[in-house]
Amino acid sequence: MALIHQQNKQGLYNLVIPDIEQWPIYLLSKDRAPFIEELVSNSMAHIRELLGDSKQKLHDEIARALYMERIRMKTEHWRVDPPDERSFWRKVNETIAHISTQKGIPIGQPTDEDARIFHEIVARYANEIPGIFSPNTYRFASRVVTFGFARLLNTASGMFFKNEFRLGDRLKITGNIEKIRELALKGTLIMTPTHSSNLDSLVMGWAIDAIGLPPFLYGAGLNLFNSRIFGFFMERLGAYKVDRRKKNLFYLETLKMYSRMVIERGCHSLFFPGGTRSRNGALENQLKLGLLGSAVEAQRLNFMRGTTETMGFDASHAKKIYVVPVVLNYHFVLEAASLIEEFLKRSGKEKYYIDREEFPGTRLLTTFLWKFFAAKSEVILSFGEPMDIFGHPVDEHGNSIDQHGNCIDISRYFVSRGMITKDRQRDEEYTRLLGNKLVESFMRTNTVLSSHLVAFTAFEILARKHSRRLDLYGLLRLPEEDRTIPYTQYAKVTEHVRDALRQMADHGKVQLANHMYGDINRLIKHGLSNLGVYHTQQPLAFDPDGNITSQDMNLLYFYHNRLTGYNLEQLI
């Protein structure tokens, strides 16, 4: 399939596959019923294997799931929950109890009915998780986002009647987009962005559309479906439902099986490997490996299928999976105040206490967007180098490249005694290695913005100054009069750190936004004005004497954390 390189009038890329009916996500949705049937049987087989085919263990798991689901329904009922779920679980309960007593089997012993109940539970979850992709809704949403955002942007900037700004001016995309587009045709993409804000999924949705890729499957929290309108769109755009309240084995394994099977079917997927939004503002360095594990498993299965088809050991034509790390860089994060508050409470325990008023309540998304656009702030989406599931870079043909520039056949990582074999422990280990590679890639792909730099140096100068007397929590409670940094000192240190970052950028260890070059005074002003754009209490500001001060140490710490992990502290 030929790749269409041109960009359209809005500066966006044309779709790599113009015909929606050819999109894997559309084909999957069209094939929904048989897919769900397969999902049920695969999940059941997998769960049986996990339970060692033990009838007793299966019975115990059913009882456990019943217990957990009843607690959930009692304590945490959501509007989105299906109306028949209470009656469903009541029947499960009755069946277990009834059969056990009727046949004289003591409660707690496996029964012949367990297999049927097992099937019903898994089938219920398998029907609940997948969304239904609708091309019409997709077209509509795509237009709304592009047009609506652009209109909002211009309106907020005071130029309602001019089309001076486009969305792409504020949401900047960096990275090897052409390669990512090529790979989208050759294999299955797994997009793994860092997670700072609830806005991230919206931004990623726009970005995927902007670079001309078909929509990605994305696991959205079931709570988002509580809103009928939002739920309507999410479901029809291909989002699948993830219910974090359900922790029972059947649900979790069905969900994992679903994510694996859609990858196997070539549907591009997106998930945030950090799991939740970064609470302390730092780049993720500990990842949730569950969904990454699905990618590794799907890759192995693709290779196994490939070798079976060729009746030999050649898996070279099997569909490959490519992981695309993405770092989302914001000058400010909508939820920064509550995120860092949560982080400090958790990490500081008794050391962290609030000696001032609570934060203002959560603002509405529209207020944020308005401020974001009015303030002419920018968001940079940095796409990292695509990698295979072992973390090797790949070329534009999808070949994996080793550290010496040679092509390697990664299917052979699954070879044991001459055959591609299933080995769960090996898959887990490969997943862990992939997680490490992703973390390394996040560090390299991160685009440093002026706001990150100014926050980092200011916090580190204060930390160094008070290090003998105060620990982190003491520092965060530093009285306002002790927070002042003389401007000359500040500018000197900031320039020193900036120069070190430039050197690192020259070696590909990090990326720098364009505004990071040039005059340091201008850079500092740029950083300060962007860092404070949203918050009522300025994390960093000029005092009347032109020196630097902070009105909110927690926020300063939050934004500072973005540059930890680069050993820049030693330069202060």
Residues in contact with another protein by CB under 8 A are: 390, 392, 402-404, 406, 408-410, 412-413, 415-418, 423, 425-426, 429-430, 432-433
Strand partners, 172: 380
CB of 317 to another protein, least distance (A): 17
In the bound state with another protein, the residue whose beta carbon lies nearer, of 168 and 393, is: 393
Strand 511-512 with 541-542, pairing: unpaired
Burial of 87 per CB tally in 10 Å (0-12, 13-18, 19+)? exposed
Tokens encoding 389: 């599931």
CB of 560 to another protein, least distance (A): 22
- Number of Cβ within a 10 Å radius of residue 567: 9
CA–CA distance, 401 with 419 (Å, rounded to integer): 22
CB of 8 to another protein, least distance (A): 41
CA–CA distance, 472 with 461 (Å, rounded to integer): 13
DSSP 135-198: HHHHHHHHHIIIIIHHHHHHHHTT-TT-----HHHHEEEES-HHHHHHHHHHSEEEEEE----T
| Amino acid sitting at position 393 | P
Torsion over CA of 487, 492, 494 and 500, rounded to 10 degrees?
180
CB of 427 to another protein, least distance (A): 10
Strand partners, 180: none
**3-state SS, residue 228:** helix
CB of 59 to another protein, least distance (A): 30
In the bound state with another protein, the residue whose beta carbon lies nearer, of 104 and 312, is: 312
Q: Cβ distance 254 to 43 under 8 Å?
A: yes
- Closest by Cα among 266, 107, 104, 301 to 185: 266
Tokens encoding 405: 């520039």
Number of alpha carbons in the 13 Å side-chain half-sphere of residue 146: 18
In the bound state with another protein, the residue whose beta carbon lies nearer, of 10 and 436, is: 436
**3-state SS, residue 397:** coil
- Number of Cβ within a 10 Å radius of residue 532: 21
CB of 429 to another protein, least distance (A): 5
| Amino acid sitting at position 151 | R
CA–CA distance, 134 with 20 (Å, rounded to integer): 10
In the bound state with another protein, the residue whose beta carbon lies nearer, of 132 and 408, is: 408
Strand partners, 512: 448
**3-state SS, residue 542:** strand
In the bound state with another protein, the residue whose beta carbon lies nearer, of 347 and 436, is: 436
CB of 566 to another protein, least distance (A): 12
In the bound state with another protein, the residue whose beta carbon lies nearer, of 408 and 541, is: 408
In the bound state with another protein, the residue whose beta carbon lies nearer, of 20 and 408, is: 408
In the bound state with another protein, the residue whose beta carbon lies nearer, of 70 and 432, is: 432
CB of 419 to another protein, least distance (A): 9
In the bound state with another protein, the residue whose beta carbon lies nearer, of 235 and 388, is: 388
CA–CA distance, 276 with 287 (Å, rounded to integer): 10
Q: Kindly give, in sequence order, each residue whose CB lies less than 8 Å from that of residue 519, ignoring residues fewer than 6 positions away.
A: none
CB of 194 to another protein, least distance (A): 23
Q: Cβ distance 261 to 35 under 8 Å?
A: yes
Q: Cβ distance 188 to 171 under 8 Å?
A: no
CB of 290 to another protein, least distance (A): 19
- Closest by Cα among 389, 351, 266, 330 to 533: 330
In the bound state with another protein, the residue whose beta carbon lies nearer, of 271 and 413, is: 413
In the bound state with another protein, the residue whose beta carbon lies nearer, of 400 and 445, is: 400
Q: Cβ distance 545 to 438 under 8 Å?
A: no
CB of 393 to another protein, least distance (A): 12
CB of 509 to another protein, least distance (A): 14
In the bound state with another protein, the residue whose beta carbon lies nearer, of 372 and 413, is: 413
- Closest by Cα among 140, 184, 141 to 17: 184
In the bound state with another protein, the residue whose beta carbon lies nearer, of 392 and 496, is: 392
CB of 5 to another protein, least distance (A): 32
